[in-house]
Amino acid sequence: MGFLGTRAGPFADMALVIQITGFIILCLGVMYAKRKDFLKHFALERVTVLLAVIAFLWMGSSLLIYFKALIFHLTAVSNLLTVFHVIIGILALLSGIFLAFDRLIKKTGNSMRTMFLLWSAALFLGIAVYMIYYVL
């Protein structure tokens, strides 16, 4: 049992807390971008990406352990939701890394909005996966 009082272990709880914290920091970064304070914006976005990488490393081992079961039972709603979360999460993480560290993706309003939507979708799906596996 994790520290959030669910069936999740402490690693899953910590990953959830880190991702939600990262999303709050991402939203603060968006606020600074709207105010044209780009130095604070870039610093906060880099912190968000670092937190996401840490959470991904923690969750990645679980994904590798259960990957075979996920694929063999892909028609189960929980497994399908997990696969969507993984795909969108990896896209969000990679786009975040490329944007935050000035690689491959040009920083424009559209690319940053797309990344924010991917990040939001990955978080929403991650919370849904957490709820399905550990709460319901």
* Residue 135: predicted pLDDT: 92
* Residue 69 main-chain phi, psi, to 5 deg: -65, -40
Report the half-sphere exposure of 33 (CA within 13 A, side-chain side).
Answer: 17
- The alpha carbon torsion through 40, 60, 8, 15 (nearest 10 deg) reads -10
* Residue 44: predicted pLDDT: 94
In angstroms, the CA 49 to CA 118 distance is 13
* Residue 125: predicted pLDDT: 96
pLDDT truncated to tens, each residue of the chain (136 aa)?
778 889 988 888 998 999 999 999 999 999 999 999 999 998 999 999 999 999 888 888 777 787 777 777 777 888 889 889 999 999 999 998 988 877 777 778 888 899 999 999 999 999 999 999 899 8
pTM summary value: 0.86
* Residue 22: predicted pLDDT: 93
Q: Which two tokens stand for residue 96?
A: 């975040």
